[in-house]
Each structure stands twice: as structure tokens, then as C-alpha cells.
Structure 1
Amino acid sequence: MKCPFCGELEDKVIDSRVSQEGGTIRRRRECVVCGRRFTTYERVEEILPLVVKKDGTRQPFDRQKVLAGVQRACVKRPVTGEMLEELVSDVERLLQESGEKEIPSKAIGEAILERLQPLDDVAYVRFASVYREFRDVGEFLKELSALEGRQAKKG
């Protein structure tokens, strides 16, 4: 595994843990050259459906792209990297279990929103504003009202 700090290819595994659902192994590693530590995740590569974009183009599901999107929505929010990894793994599992060969990007976005909202309302609104492409303040306020209604039902 290549060290993200110095680029060295040699490291030693300090700790390995299997995730709660058993689909991922988290490994804590230490570079033998610079001594810095980093974490890697190991998972079985499974065949996922193609994502059908809004413009009709198709592309392979990109876990890193989804993770980067939810990370941007969670900047300066109390959401851990582990929580986001779990969210993305859950969406990925949903796609695998669907058995579909193609899935609309809209369905993926909705699955992300459904899982993001219980984690953090602000991150939810941030992701929704980009994903749903709000055209004006009215659409944004409508989403906030819907979120407020869901919270009122909970509490």
C-alpha cells in the first residue's frame, strides 16, 4: 500500500478490524520510511449497476465520487468519516441487492438523502441543494419546510 504522505510502498499493518456488517476490513498502517500512520479499507469488489445520469449518459458507479459529495455536505459538521463510510456502503449494498443493470442517478441521490438526514440536518440541506439543483430561494425554503415537518413528527 502506497503511503499517502511520502509515497513509500512498504508499510506494516498495526491493527485490523472487521466492520459491524462484516463487509469491510479496516486496517491501520504505519509507513516504514516516514513512520506516519494511515487507515485503509478493504472490501470485496462486486459488480454494481451502471448509473444513468440526467442527460442519459451511463457510467460505472463511483464510490469515491459519492463519498466526496457527502463529505462536502458534511464540512464542519459533527459527522465522522466512519459514519460517511457506512452511509456510502449502505447505498452501495442497496445497489448490489437491487439486481438492476442500470439505475438512475436520481434514485442514488434519494437513497443518500434518506440516509444523510438522520445524521445531520444541515448536511442534508446542503446535499439536497446541490443534488436537487434548487433554482431559487422558494425551492430552498420549501425543502426546509418539509424537513421541519419531518422533525415535528419525530419529536
Structure 2
Amino acid sequence: MKCPFCGNDDTQVKDSRPTEDNAAIRRRRLCGNCGARFTTFERVQLRELTVVKKNNTREPFDRDKLMRSMQIALRKRNMDPERLERIVNSIVRRLESSGESEIQGKTIGEMIMEALQQLDQVAYLRYASVYRNFREVKDFEDFIDQQVRPEGDD
């Protein structure tokens, strides 16, 4: 494993243990060159996933991008990092076990929305505002009204 600090290829594993949900192996590493310590995670990957974007372009699925998008929505919210890790792992497992190697970006967005709705209402609204491309305050109002009283309920 390459050291993220100095680029040295010779790093040593000092400690290995499973994550809380047993979905990955956490490894503490030491660089023999600069002495820096860092952590890596080893995960099982069931299949290579490709994300099909709205404009039909394709890009490799990036677990870290999914994690970052949820972290941005949850910024300054009281969220246990281990819990977020379990949620992201759950979404990735669902995607990998879907049987499809190409996943619509919309599917991933909806899975994130579903997870955030159950997790934190403020983060859910933050994510929705970007995902649904809110342009003005009325968009927020309409979205909140739909959550309180879904369409078809009178």
C-alpha cells in the first residue's frame, strides 16, 4: 500500500481488525520511509458497478463519492461516523446484490434520500434541495408539504 504522505510503496500493517459490522477489515499502517501512520479499509466487492448518469454518460461507481455526499448533507449534524459507515455499506451491498452491473444515478440518489429520511430530517432536506435542484424558497415549501401530506391524501 502506498503511503499517502510521501508516496513510498513500502508500508507495514501494524494492526488489523474487522469493522463493527464485519463489512470490512480496518488496517493501521506505518510508512517505513517517513514514519507516518494511516488507516486503510479492505472490503469485499461483489461486482464492478457502473453508474449511468442523466445524460447517459457512464462512470465507475465510487463508494467514497456516495459517502461524501451523505457527509455533506449531515455536516454539523450529530451523527456517529460508524452508523454512517453501516448505512453506506448497506446501500453498496444493495447495489451490488441487485444483479445489475449498470446502475442508474437516479437509483442511487433515491436510496440516499430514503436512508437520510429515516436518519435525519435536516440532512434529508439538504440532500433533496441539491438532488431535486431547488431554485427558490417555494421549492422547499412544496417539498416539505409533500412530506407532511403526500399527494393523493386529502
Q: TM-score normalised to the size of structure 1?
A: 0.78
CA contact (8 A) 1:79 1:119 kept: no
Percent identity for Structure 1 against Structure 2: 50
1:77/1:38 Cα in 2 relative to 1: closer, same or farther (>3 Å)?
farther
Equivalent residues in 2 for 1:70-85, closer than 5 Å: 70-85=70-85
Say what the alpha-carbon RMSD is for the aligned residues: 2.5
The alpha-carbon deviation at position 47 of structure 1 amounts to 1.4
Question: Which residue type is aligned with residue 66 of structure 1?
Answer: L
| Aligned match of 1:87 | 87
Equivalent residues in 2 for 1:6-85, closer than 5 Å: 6-85=6-85
Distance in 1, matches of 2:80 and 2:8, equals: 28
| Aligned match of 2:127 | 127
Equivalent residues in 2 for 1:133-144, closer than 5 Å: 133-144=133-144
1:139/1:102 Cα in 2 relative to 1: closer, same or farther (>3 Å)?
same
Structure 2 residue runs of 5 or longer lacking an equivalent are: 150-154
1:29/1:99 Cα in 2 relative to 1: closer, same or farther (>3 Å)?
same
The alpha-carbon deviation at position 40 of structure 1 amounts to 0.8
1:7/1:127 Cα in 2 relative to 1: closer, same or farther (>3 Å)?
same
CA contact (8 A) 2:52 2:103 kept: yes
Question: Which residue type is aligned with residue 11 of structure 1?
Answer: T
The alpha-carbon deviation at position 93 of structure 1 amounts to 0.6
| Aligned match of 2:109 | 109
2:91 counterpart of 1:118: no
CA contact (8 A) 2:12 2:32 kept: yes
Q: Aligned to 1:40, what secondary structure does the other structure show? A: strand
Q: Aligned to 2:39, what secondary structure does the other structure show? A: strand
1:147/1:7 Cα in 2 relative to 1: closer, same or farther (>3 Å)?
farther
